[in-house]
Amino acid sequence: MSEYQKVDVVVEEKVNTYKDIALQIHGKPEVSNYEFFACETLSQQLKAEGFEIRTDVAGHRTGFTASYKSSKPGIVVVFLAEYDALQGIGHACGHNLFGSISALAAVAYKAYIGEVGGEVRVYGTPGEEGGENGSSKGSFVREGFFDDVDIALALHPSSDNGRTGKSLAVAPVDIEFFGKSAHASGQPEKGINALDSVIQVFNGVNALRQHVTDDVRIHGIITNGGEAPNVVPDYASARFYLRAKSRPALDELYTKFENIVKGAALQTGATYKFGLFQNSVDNVVPTPRFDDLFEAYLNTYGETIPDTPKKGAGSTDAGNVSQVVPTLHPQIRISDVPVAGHSIEFREAAKSELGLRSIDIGSRVLAKTALHLAEHPEELKAVKSQHHENVLHQ
C-alpha cells in the first residue's frame, strides 16, 4: 500500500509544526466552552494551509469548521478534531494530540484532492469531555453539518492501538428540588426539606440497580445540599450521568430515572426541575469494514492492534456522528506501558516523544484510509451499507 506516497511527503514536511501545536495546547489546557487558544491555534494553522475557516459554529463559540473544495466532483470527508482538557488535570485524555492528528491528516488528504475530487473538512468540536455547552458533536449533527458528509474520521490517543469500539449512550442530567426553609429544631414541621428529596433519589437509584441490565451505569453527585444544619434546606440539587448500551435503552432508563425524581418530590412535598444540562450523547456504532482499512494502513508502519478486547466502556459524542455517517474512531498508542485514561500518567504521555509520534503515524494512516475510500467507490458503498445495517440493528 504505497500508492499514497505524497501523504508521507506532506506529513514529513509539516509534522513538526503540528507537534509544536500539540505541545502548546497541552501547556495551556482549556475546558469545554473555553478552548479559545486551541480553537484559534488549530483553525489559523488550517487557514494558512489554504482552508476556508468559520468559527463560532453550531452554537459553540469555540467550535470551527475548515473546508477545502476541489473543482472536481467527489466525496465529502470530515476529520473530527477535539482539543478540550479535563477540569483540574489538564490534557489527561490526549486531546491536544487528537486535534493535531486530524488537522494534519486533512492537510495530507488535501494534497490529493485535485485527483480524487470532492471536499475535505475539519470540524473543530469542543467539549467532548462534557461541561459547559459540552458534547458539541451532537450540535453539529442536529444543525445539519453532516447532512452531505460521506465519511468521518478521528483517532484517539490511548495506551495501546485499537479498533473503533462500542460505547455507552449517556444522558447528563441535573435535578433541582425546591422546598421551604424553617428552623430545623424549633419549627421543623413548617419546613419542606429539599435535601431529603435528593437523598431519596439516590435511594431510588440504588433500588433500581437491581433491575437493570449489565450495561447500565448511573452515577451522580450532590451539587448543593443546603447552607446550615439548623435550617431546613429549601434548595438542593444533584447531577447524574445515565448510561446504557444504546439510545433506545437509554431512553427507557431516562424515563425510569425521572419517575424516581417525581416520586422523591411526592414523598417530601418539594417541587423539582429535571433535564439535560448539555447534549445527550449517543452510543458509537462501529463499521468494521472501515476499521479493516485503517488497520491495514496502520500495519504498514509497523504498528499492530492487539487481539485482547478492552474491558469497560465510556462514552463519546463521536457516537452521535456514528449514528448518521460511517465513523472511524480507533485508538493509537502513546505509551509503552499501560496507563489509565484521565490520569496524571496519561497527561504526561500526551506530551511525550511517543505521544508526539502518534501525530506522525496517525495523520498518515487517517489520510490514506480516507483516500482509499475516495478512490474505490465500491468499497465506500460497502462501508456505507454495513454502517446502515449496523445502525438499524444496534
Whole-number pLDDT of residue 2 = 57
Per the structure block, which three cell numbers stand in for 205?
Answer: 437509584
Per-residue pLDDT of the chain (394 residues; tens, 9 = 90+): 457 999 999 999 999 999 999 999 999 999 999 999 999 999 999 999 999 999 999 999 999 999 999 999 999 999 999 999 999 999 999 999 999 999 999 999 999 999 999 999 999 999 999 999 999 999 999 999 999 999 999 999 999 999 999 999 999 999 999 999 999 999 999 999 999 999 999 999 999 999 999 999 999 999 999 999 999 999 999 999 999 999 999 999 999 999 999 999 999 999 999 999 999 999 999 999 999 999 999 999 999 999 876 666 789 999 999 999 999 999 999 999 999 999 999 999 999 999 999 999 999 999 999 999 999 999 999 999 999 999 999 8
- Give the helix/strand (H/E) hosting 381: helix 377-392
Q: Tell how strand 60-69 and strand 331-333 pair up.
A: unpaired
Residues 60, 33: contact at Cβ < 8 Å? yes
State residue 311's pLDDT score: 66
How many Cβ atoms sit within 10 Å of the Cβ of residue 174? 16
Burial letters 121-160, b for 16+ CB under 10 A, else e: bbbbbbbbbbbebbbbbbbbbeeebbeebbbbbbbbbbbb
Cα–Cα separations (whole angstroms), residue 76 to 27, 262, 278:
33, 46, 28
**pLDDT value at residue 314:** 84
* Burial environment of residue 190 by CB neighbours within 10 A (0 to 12, 13 to 18, 19 or more): exposed
Q: What is the crossing angle of helices 353-375 and 288-299, to 10°?
A: 120
Nearest to 31 by CA among 99, 139, 132: 132
* Strand ranges (E), the chain: 52-57, 60-69, 76-81, 119-124, 151-153, 156-158, 169-178, 217-224, 235-244, 271-276, 327-328, 331-333
Interatomic CA distance for residues 37 and 41, integer angstroms: 6
Q: Residue 1: its pLDDT value, please?
A: 46
* Amino acid in the structure at residue 278: Q
The one-letter amino acid code at 78 reads V
The closest alpha carbon to 291, from 169, 390, 153, belongs to 153
Helix (H, G, I), strand (E, B) or coil at 304: coil
For residue 95, the model assigns a pLDDT of 98
